[in-house]
Structure 1
């Protein structure tokens, strides 16, 4: 893999990518009205407008309804990808063909190369070992014309790129990842990982939330898994036959010694460091820990005895972007180096509307905040995806970006605008207060309540005791202090309005019952969200979800003083 060539010749590669995309697509119905068949870069920049999803949705829908692919794409559309809908609102569908999954495979291979380069084999020089990878497929739907509609993870698991991958380093057989029942799949993933505990060198999932959810699941089912291992028999409720046969083969008969070892660790009073206690050869945990997933870092550190957290790649349903070239960096220092051979990337200064100057990938400036515009091979041209990134540096001639926030993810009850970045900063400061107690924050979301005057921010928190046998008893003093610390962490405008004219009310934390956020996930999954791609929304907009959360509230706490200016 010639990373030097890719990252040193970014400008030329990007120009070649745009030329190829325009040559393929210039005669599509969408692009022809702007380019009249030309593949000229300057004409593209002059004539093709910057768009949002609503602009291109009618064209996508026409192809989904059965019109020819050349409405938007010069090559046949073979399916549609469903966005998660949990980070930016409603779900969207995007046209794709096999190139998308080839790009995913390329990013995964690059990720593996970087891991092997930075994280060495064990002292005996043995092979890298196996990864407990939490992949979940969900049932595909079909468009009116019969093309599959799936999440990017499901699409990848069904693709030739996955089926024909060079080797399988996962503890689970493919039948587990492809099992359509989430509970059965999660159980079998963890059971296979436990059965092969001495071979596991990493735990991995698309997002940190999935890993925390897996450990919570393990707390409920470890005794049953130990029984399966002890007697070499899989639980009867695992009814997916292909999955059942494959996992039974992994179990391979009775193993009382292993069952005793697992039981001894899981029976201890605290699950602190449980990951390294169950899988002593684990060298790193791999999942996205940037953006809204940063809230799970303290939980993962608690469970893993601070094993290194590797945030590997940046991608979306619209395109893959790039990789973290420094797997050993701290979570707060993660940047992603864009790969110039995947799509054509342009950038517009963040929050500058349509007035800002659009620059190419190699012309971004260190320290500046940008929103990426995507031109891909299958129908998106100068598409605003809504992420805000900051340029953190360059790898050769290739820029590196820090993920900052989703563009429209804000709270506001008055004139103030509170961004995702503001919320996560406030939350991180509050978790430092929680550390002084024996409580862990396992899930949160928030919304701006303007149903009463003055309006105020409400944060829903799910808490957990560090010791398994302890009952969660949130103390008034600690939680009120958390409210105050969060307010102190918010913007100067928020603090000014809150302190001076009282048109923002006291910030509130509502503590919910344990298991609430797992049930919230199930609600979103039942509405079409992907188990592999699910991220708890930072800001809740669904009235159904808010009603559910309120039905599970155990206690309410408010800041008891105005924040300092």
Structure 2
């Protein structure tokens, strides 16, 4: 679901479709029923799967609760899970995402349907419902990808959030962000991607309404990065040119469409960032944040 779907216009303001907010309430109020329904849908679609047949179950029953170890062993022994990971993918196959719950990465298979159910879509409607006016500006959301690997069978394996950011579902909403897709998809997250996304957010600082990241630690790193690099960022803004330390061609091309000489903004940044007091720095640098 794109970020703007379900939005209706009333006068000059936009309000989220109440059905999306009702769905959020339902998912959180009737958790047991929702889980039962989703499980029944999954079992129904996969009633003929080898794994279910091995369990002696049909589409109306539940599979046993197991730990990751039996699943991993089944994969290694080329049982159904191994078949998914070790055989060549069919055209249009979805990637395998890595996830952790015990410190060890796992590889659940992701389908297009799962991608469409991403909580990010509902989160957008929830934000709009409780913080009016967010749709009237830009989002500075620090988002980073990690490198992909391949399973023996040729499936793409990547972290869950990387899968989200590379999906067509996310790209359709990307125009709401200050960061162009090239800066988000740059795999040098600690330097080039962070620098480019921060620079884009600063160039559009009056348009930014929400500032954030998926994990709080990423936002803390971003503010620390600004604290260490504000002088170079201000110099780039003043000159209207990206400094040579950013070598990624796609990122440089994307920034060329945003970065313009802006002496006043550069001086504003120097004033705010050179004080030594970083209390409230987000609302000071991005004055319209909600």
Q: Structure 1 residues 90, 20: CA separation in 2 closer, same or farther (over 3 Å shift)?
A: closer
| Residue segments in structure 2 that go unaligned for 5+ positions in a row | 1-18, 76-80
Q: Structure 1 residues 88, 129: CA separation in 2 closer, same or farther (over 3 Å shift)?
A: same
Q: Structure 1 residues 50, 13: CA separation in 2 closer, same or farther (over 3 Å shift)?
A: closer
Q: Structure 1 residues 98, 25: CA separation in 2 closer, same or farther (over 3 Å shift)?
A: same
Counterpart among 30, 40, 47 of residue 26 in structure 1: 47
CA distance in 2, matches of 1:150, 1:248: 29
- TM-score, normalisation: structure 1: 0.44
| Residue segments in structure 1 that go unaligned for 5+ positions in a row | 70-75, 284-565
Aligned to 1:226: 234
Alignment of 1:250-289 (within 5 A): 250-251=258-259, 253-283=260-290
Q: Structure 1 residues 20, 277: CA separation in 2 closer, same or farther (over 3 Å shift)?
A: same
**Does 1:215 pair with 2:223?**
yes
Do the aligned residues in 1 keep the contact of 2:21 with 2:125 (CA within 8 Å)?
Answer: no
Do the aligned residues in 2 keep the contact of 1:230 with 1:255 (CA within 8 Å)?
Answer: yes
State the secondary structure of the residue aligned to 1:94. coil
Post-superposition offset of 1:254: 0.8
Counterpart among 65, 78, 99 of residue 50 in structure 1: 65
Counterpart among 91, 106, 120 of residue 92 in structure 1: 106
Q: Structure 1 residues 128, 32: CA separation in 2 closer, same or farther (over 3 Å shift)?
A: same
State the secondary structure of the residue aligned to 1:198. coil
Alignment of 1:328-367 (within 5 A): none
Do the aligned residues in 1 keep the contact of 2:89 with 2:155 (CA within 8 Å)?
Answer: no
CA distance in 2, matches of 1:152, 1:17: 20
Post-superposition offset of 1:262: 0.5
CA distance in 2, matches of 1:2, 1:214: 31
CA distance in 2, matches of 1:172, 1:108: 17
Do the aligned residues in 2 keep the contact of 1:80 with 1:150 (CA within 8 Å)?
Answer: yes
Aligned to 2:94: 78
- TM-score, normalisation: structure 2: 0.83
CA distance in 2, matches of 1:215, 1:102: 31
Post-superposition offset of 1:3: 4.2
Deviations 1:492-549 (A, max 9, x none): xxxxxxxxxxxxxxxxxxxxxxxxxxxxxxxxxxxxxxxxxxxxxxxxxxxxxxxxxx
Q: Structure 1 residues 129, 158: CA separation in 2 closer, same or farther (over 3 Å shift)?
A: same
CA distance in 1, matches of 2:111, 2:263: 48
State the secondary structure of the residue aligned to 1:116. helix
Deviations 1:125-158 (A, max 9, x none): xx53111111111221111111100011111122
Do the aligned residues in 2 keep the contact of 1:26 with 1:35 (CA within 8 Å)?
Answer: no
Aligned to 1:103: 117
CA distance in 2, matches of 1:17, 1:49: 16
Deviations 1:335-369 (A, max 9, x none): xxxxxxxxxxxxxxxxxxxxxxxxxxxxxxxxxxx
Aligned to 1:175: 182
**Does 1:185 pair with 2:193?**
yes
CA distance in 2, matches of 1:5, 1:178: 31
Do the aligned residues in 2 keep the contact of 1:203 with 1:282 (CA within 8 Å)?
Answer: yes
CA distance in 1, matches of 2:218, 2:41: 37
Do the aligned residues in 1 keep the contact of 2:85 with 2:155 (CA within 8 Å)?
Answer: yes
Do the aligned residues in 2 keep the contact of 1:77 with 1:95 (CA within 8 Å)?
Answer: no
Larger of the two Rg values belongs to structure:
1
- Aligned pair count reads 261
CA distance in 2, matches of 1:81, 1:247: 30
CA distance in 2, matches of 1:217, 1:10: 40
Post-superposition offset of 1:238: 0.8
Which structure is higher in helix share? 2
Aligned to 2:159: 151
Which structure is higher in strand share? 1
Post-superposition offset of 1:260: 0.2
The RMSD of aligned alpha carbons is 2.3
CA distance in 1, matches of 2:88, 2:54: 18
State the secondary structure of the residue aligned to 1:185. helix
Return 89-98 or 264-273, whichever deviates more: 89-98
Do the aligned residues in 2 keep the contact of 1:138 with 1:180 (CA within 8 Å)?
Answer: yes
Deviations 1:187-209 (A, max 9, x none): 00111111111111111211000
CA distance in 2, matches of 1:68, 1:269: 54
Aligned to 1:198: 206
CA distance in 2, matches of 1:120, 1:164: 22
Deviations 1:322-347 (A, max 9, x none): xxxxxxxxxxxxxxxxxxxxxxxxxx
Q: Structure 1 residues 82, 226: CA separation in 2 closer, same or farther (over 3 Å shift)?
A: same
